[in-house]
Structure formats: structure tokens, C-alpha cells
Amino acid sequence: MDFANVKEVTYRVRRFDPDKDRAPHWEEYRIPYAPGMTVLDGLWLVKELHAPTLAWRSSCRMGVCGSCGMLINGSPRLGCNTQICELETTTVAVGPLPNFNIIKDLVPDLMPMLETHRQLLPFIVRDDHEEMEKPSGEFWQSPEELEHYLQFSYCIKCGCCMAACPTCATDPVYSGPMPLAQAHRYNSDSRDNGFTHRRQVLEGERGPWRCHFAGECSRVCPKGVDPAKAIQLMKRELVADYFKLREQRCPARLAETPKGVARREGIPEAPAPTVR
Amino acid sequence: MLTAKGYPNRLGVGGWLGGGRWGMERYLYTLHRLTGLGLIFYFLLHILVTSARAFGEAAWVASMGRVTGPLFTVGEYLVFLAFAFHAANGLRLAFIELGWGVGKPFEPVYPYKTSVDFQRPLAIVALLLAALLAAAGTLDFFVLHKGVTP
Ligand code: SF4
Ligand code: SF4
Ligand code: FES
């Protein structure tokens, strides 16, 4: 569709006010269109011109904070990351992310997802508590080891994958792609030693075995995290672990400061550490 | 788990069909679930019908007599088709769940190429395999053993 002559677009917004409404309903607003407008920009105009009480979450408006996940013309996407012209229509239907309860208008209740995320220990787990509390240096990690988890670490917890997942659509127990991909992100980090702790959740019915690779999570993910891949690789790890074939590794050791080497000329000293 | 507040917005069974960007694997997912449910239903029916043998020959003959006729032939044929798909797609899933065919983790660069794209050949092979099984079944049902009631 050619957007060169488009001056106005129609927003259909799914609205719900918990104090007044018994169920969500659609409302329509017409707003002026300017080239380069994102779906999020349009929402601000709707709020300014027609619906001052309209509620949604957004913050960074550049696809980094993960606040503005919403259902845009049937697809879970980031409002700030979606140009109106790429929708190929002048009607923009915006609803809250499905598979989460609606708090108000476009605001989903992400807490169940974040709570599961928390239970899967999304941080480096190690036994050397002393070093973890009072770090004396960096842990050693090769670029190849970094590659094992880097892709999954780009997740911004927007919840789009959860809204697209057909298993999440019928199964409130399933952890869902976001928390599972993050569990795998830490399981596959060479500095981490928390697999046995996370396994307690992952082995059960909340774990990855409810995923049958519909792949929707990976298709909608705005950051290219590919949670479906993380989940399948996690299944492989669980199977290997079950048959006692999982590679036992010691979590990465501390990197030693190289001794007996001189700084090359022209390379400045590192700034003093800001945290002690 | 935390109890969620607010208006429930889970998609339900409708979510098996829509809600995302409608990839081919989503249809396979839905079909896998539906055929799985169908096969379980058939299995229960099968146990129920054949368990009549425990009550003597007359009960067995009567029970078998109830499941003949063109409706049941077509039904059995559908069960076979469901089996053909569920088996072939199940092999694909087992493969993928062992981490094969989904690619290695790498730095994502837009436009993203996902594990779904990497495993696409597997999906096509699974469909071809299902079609092959289905064709053999069709031949058996309607040409080779035409009119033979079990
Ligand atoms: S995996 Fe992707 S879609 Fe899911 S929460 Fe993370 S960034 Fe969002
Ligand atoms: S691949 Fe698994 S987690 Fe992702 S959408 Fe499909 S069923 Fe859900
Ligand atoms: S506003 Fe931050 S991701 Fe859209």
C-alpha cells in the first residue's frame, strides 16, 4: 500500500476500565498521520486528541526497555518498533498482549511471567559465595563460550513471545518462552553452576516439555532472541543430564592478571574502578 | 505461582490457531495436538470395543458388528491419516528436541533468521513422509483391501 498520500489513520483500541467496564470493548479514533509515525506515536496522539484516560506502558521508545509490547493488527509486537506504514493498512487495531490478564486498557499484568522468571534464577549461580559477594576480578570466558548464550541475553522481557505461544494460550502452568529462554541463557553461561537448581523447575510440568515447537515465539520476538531455539537446546541438555551424559564443567575460574608484560606505548591506563 | 489480577485474557483453544504471525509450524503444532487427541479417542474406543472379548464370543461378535459399515471404514481411514501425520511430525519434533536442526546460537542481525527457518527442511521432509504413509494407506484401504471388513 502506498502511504504517500495518507493524511489520517483509524485507531481501533481495545479499552477496559476495571472500575467501570465488565468486559473489554473496542473504540475507534481518527488521528492525523505523518510519515515515520510509529504505532506508539499514534497512541500518544489518540490520548492527546480523543481519549485522555487511555492507559499503556512505554518508556524508551526505541525497542530497549520492553514496556510497549501490544497486540498490533493481530500480532504481538513493540508499539515503538512498529511503523504504521509497515502494517500496509490505514486501520491500526491495538489490544493488550493476550495470555496475560488486563489491568487496564493496553496494560497487561506481566507479573506471573516475571515471577516465573525469578524462580528460574536469572543470574549467575556459583558456589564460591565469597568471590560473588566481594569480587576480586573477572571470570575467564572465551569468545566461543560467550556465543553460547549471547543471543539469548538480548531479551528485553517484553512478553510478545508469551502472547504468541499457543501452549501459553491454553496452559497457565507452562512457564512460557521468556522465562525458559532466560533459564537456558544462564545454564549455558560458562561462569554459571546453577543447572541443578534450575532443573528442579525445568523437569516438572512447568518446564520445556510442553513446547512442541510452534516457533511463534521466535517469529514475533523483536530482538531476534529465538526462544524456541533456547528451549530445544535446553531439552537436549535435560535429556543428556537424565542419561548422565551432560558435560560436567567447573564454572569459569578467575582470570589472572597477566604478569611480566609491559603496556604498549600510546595505550592509556584504565580508569579507576567506580565500585569498590 | 502468583495469582494474576485484572481481566482474564488468555486466548484458549482459539490461541492454537491465531495470535501470532501464522507460520507453517503453527499449523503443524495445531494438527499435531488435534491428531493426538483423535488418536487417544480412537485408542479408548478400541479398548472399549475389543474388551468385549472378555465377556465371551457372543459379546465379541455383537461388539464387532456394531463397528462395521462405511462410516467406520472412513473413520478408520481418518485414524490412519492422523497416525501418518502424528508419527512423521513426531519424529521431526523428537529430532528438534534433541537440539538437531535448529542451528547454533549466534549474534542476531536484523532481519532475523530463527531456528524455525533452520528446521524448515525437516518440516518439509516430515510432511513428505506423512504424505507417503498416507498414500500407502489409501492404496491399502480403497484398492488392495477394498470391501474387506476386519
Ligand atoms: S524473548 Fe523476545 S519476545 Fe520474548 S520477552 Fe524476550 S525480547 Fe520479548
Ligand atoms: S516454540 Fe514452544 S515456546 Fe515457542 S511458541 Fe512454540 S510452543 Fe510456545
Ligand atoms: S517503549 Fe521501550 S521497548 Fe517500546
This prediction's pTM: 0.90
Give the model confidence (pLDDT) of A56-85 as tens digits: 999 999 999 999 999 999 999 999 999 999
Alpha carbon of B103: minimum distance to chain A alpha carbons (Å): 8
Rounding to the nearest 10 degrees, give the CA dihedral for residues B59, B60, B65, B71.
120
Considering the four listed CATH numbers 3.40.800.20, 3.40.50.300, 1.20.1300.10, 3.10.440.10, the one that applies to the domain covering B23-144 is 1.20.1300.10
Give the pLDDT score at B2: 53
Give the pLDDT score at A270: 85
Across the interface, whether the CB atoms of B1 and A112 are under 8 A apart is answered yes
Across the interface, whether the CB atoms of B114 and A226 are under 8 A apart is answered yes
The answer to whether A210 and A166 have CB atoms below 8 angstroms apart is no
Residue B149 has pLDDT above 60, yes or no: no
Alpha carbon of B122: minimum distance to chain A alpha carbons (Å): 12
Cell of B33: 495436538
> Residues A255, A258, A260, CA angle at the centre, nearest 5°?
165
CA atoms B28, B33, B37, B42: torsion sign: positive
Task: State yes or no: cis peptide before B111, omega within 30 of 0.
Answer: yes
Give the model confidence (pLDDT) of B129-147 as tens digits: 999 999 999 998 888 876 5
Give the pLDDT score at A262: 85
> What secondary structure does DSSP assign to B95-120, as a single string?
HHHTT-SS-------SSP--HHHHHH
**Average pLDDT of the segment spanning A250-268:** 87
Q: Which of A100, A119, A232, A233 is the mutation pick for testing B, counting most B CBs within 10 A?
A: A232
Domain boundaries, chain B: 23-144
Domains and CATH numbers, chain A: 8-108 (3.10.20.30), 111-248 (1.10.1060.10)
Q: ipTM score here?
A: 0.83
Reported as a pLDDT band with limits 50, 70 and 90, residue B18 is: low
> Residues A66, A64, A99, CA angle at the centre, nearest 5°?
15
